[in-house]
A and B are shown apart, each in its own frame.
Chain A
């Protein structure tokens, strides 16, 4: 390699230019099977308005951005530490206040109130539906996966399986499947809630008991496969699940107790309140769990399984417990989805879905309940916004390009997430300074 290429500043500039080229490619127009080069040529050749001034080809924009960002990074490298210290000293007091227990409860209560009032301000039907189907339900799912990935430290890539169990259980007991319903009666989805949650938890135990003996990386790949297999079965067992066409006519929730009569209809807002109530329920339950004996056992297993075992904690038992408890909220999310959309369809329950939920948990912060909620709300809102008003050249599947990149970026720059769990942050810090036994990877020379 020539000497000038090894020059550090130049190397940084080239790395940045490469990264910017990828950004241009990702945000550029799509190609197609007929014109596979259109994406590349369009990404650099298409005319764009330069800061709203005059049209230039994207490659000019790309070069300009590269230079600007390089300049900013250089500034950050020289003055960043001072800036960071300044910000830290400014936020020191507010942070200390925010960490007080009473303040945290106050913030939580305020969030609940805001959540309850939200449908008053969001009147666009698209967003009202999105609030239920794409945000509230995903919050539930993120809460569940956070128990598995965050609390117990188990990477489950087939989490969608439990959501599918919940949805199909609902369809089953309400009589919407080709399979004859339980007890031969068509139940109201309210009765499906305990059944679906129970079946999802049972599925957690059944899937977990054999697989949770495995090491972390094997577990990830096995759960990935299980998620795919559940999809295959649901998709092909026409006589039981209705096959790839899915099955409709899942009834809405309804209440009919004496004077109290109410049917959740097509309108999303009543569903929003119902889901919100359950979100609060799960948040409270999981927070209590986190600091209970069980939660502490999970922490112990996650930090050092051998040490935990020597203290009399049965790792398999607690891991299966995490799987099954995490599955509970996914099962309930399945009930809501099935009842609200009136139908179940295998096309939802793919591996993409599991990854999507994983991104919410990672982005928010593994092991942090607030993080799971924030992650789900932020990412799902952005992804819904992209569907609502797509930028030029954006296709719905492109979301996964961004989510994939986000996973890498989070792991490199902020592995503990946006709203980190303190304990988790400390663990990662310890592992990185060479202490602790959080399944570290030992290879590689560390400068």
Chain B
């Protein structure tokens, strides 16, 4: 037993920096998806079970758009930057649209009727199953690879760990969108609306906040981030109709880890989960890697259900 740990810690020591770098990159993706859960939870007190399919739709949108644009060419330099931007945009637009559609079809009719929470969960699960199986039917059930947008190569190294271009793209795009979101929620009129609804929907509506519109926009923003994240995820992992399930479960874990309803908590939780998961490669075999994230979820829910930063619904950040 002791030998098990000493030998694994030796691997961990050797591989620490490369694993950390990789973990942070996937952490950014989890953070972006986690925002979607946290925002919707903030205004509706509900877990959006269909968020995994909002993610998936972003992946497919960027895939098909980039296929059409790139064709057989091999982009380089400024072209690559533009194409990555285009991919993020396509993912965000599709994710946002599908999120709004899910709100319209699966949530709003229930909200009108003040349905019990169980009904929302069930209809969201229905939406999720409907969407990803429809995608499987329309687009086939095998993996797609995104066209090559840039040649992945080590750019620089820290402590002997080479940082690849892909990681930089993910971190750059992810950080930019997260900062933008943080500012929008903290400063803009819409952000104030979202926070007001999260604090007290009834009072907010008396103060002139259009609740329906705020909820739709919340879904739109969360969906856009999730869709964009799907593009970044798809660059490395490909696109398939079931691609949403695992990242979404992990992102949910991240949202709970940071404190659900708390935007900065979701970012922190995502990065933390990415790193923890990546470092755990030293201890568990690849087949059980998903079990790690899930064990984190169960542990957090049991021992600190409010997460690291605490549930802070409706605060500026």
Contacts and interface: CB of A to CB of B under 8 A. Distances in A.
A36 B211 CA distance: 38
A443 B201 CA distance: 6
A185 interface: no
Nearest to B201: A443
Contacts of B105: 408
Given A358-B125, A404-B128, A407-B129, A440 B249 contact: no
B125 A428 contact: no
Interface in A402-447: 403-408, 410-412, 415, 427-428, 431-434, 438-447
A280 to B, nearest CB: 29
Given A211-B298, A445-B212, A404 B140 contact: no
A294 interface: no
Interface stretch (A174-182, A225-233, A251-259, A374-382): A225-233
Which of A232, A411, A412 lies at the interface centre, i.e. has the most chain B CB atoms within 10 A of its CB? A411
B44 A225 contact: no
Contacts of A355: 125, 129
9 contacts: A218-B305, A221-B252, A400-B130, A400-B133, A401-B137, A404-B128, A404-B129, A410-B122, A444-B212
B144 interface: yes
A398 B118 contact: no
B152 interface: no
B122 A407 contact: yes
B211 A445 contact: yes
A214 B47 contact: no
B123 A36 contact: no
B133 to A, nearest CB: 4
A39 B138 contact: yes
Contact of A401 (B43, B123, B130): B130
Nearest to A433: B114
Interface stretch (B14-22, B165-173, B285-293): B285-293
A443 B249 contact: no
A301 to B, nearest CB: 13
B121 interface: yes
Nearest to A443: B201
Nearest to A400: B133
B297 A25 contact: no
Contacts of A427: 116
A441 B120 contact: yes
A33 B142 CA distance: 6
A228 B290 CA distance: 9
Given A222-B301, A433-B114, A444-B114, 19 more contacts: A30-B137, A33-B142, A218-B305, A220-B47, A220-B125, A224-B249, A229-B291, A235-B287, A395-B137, A400-B129, A401-B137, A404-B131, A405-B126, A408-B105, A411-B126, A412-B109, A412-B123, A431-B114, A442-B202
A428 B116 contact: yes
A428 B130 contact: no
B137 A232 contact: no
Contacts of A210: 298, 302
A157 interface: yes
Contacts of B64: 36
Contact of A411 (B123, B129, B202, B212): B123
- Chain B interface residue bracket vs A: 35 or more
**Which secondary structure characterizes the binding site on chain A?**
helix
Contacts of B201: 442-445
- Chain A interface residue bracket vs B: 35 or more
Contacts of B180: none
A415 B301 contact: no
A443 B301 contact: no
A32 interface: yes
A232 B118 contact: no
Contacts of A406: 126
Nearest to A399: B133
Contacts of B312: none
A283 interface: no
Given A221-B47, A407-B125, A397 B120 contact: no
B192 interface: no
B248 to A, nearest CB: 10
B197 interface: yes
A427 B131 CA distance: 30
Nearest to B138: A39
Contact of A443 (B45, B129, B136): B45
A221 B252 CA distance: 9
B136 A441 contact: no
Given A220-B121, A405-B130, A415 B112 contact: no
A383 interface: no
Contacts of A270: none
A192 interface: no
B110 interface: yes
A344 interface: no
A391 interface: no
A444 B211 contact: yes
A142 B249 CA distance: 26
A398 B302 CA distance: 37
Given A31-B140, A34-B140, A443-B201, A408 B127 contact: yes
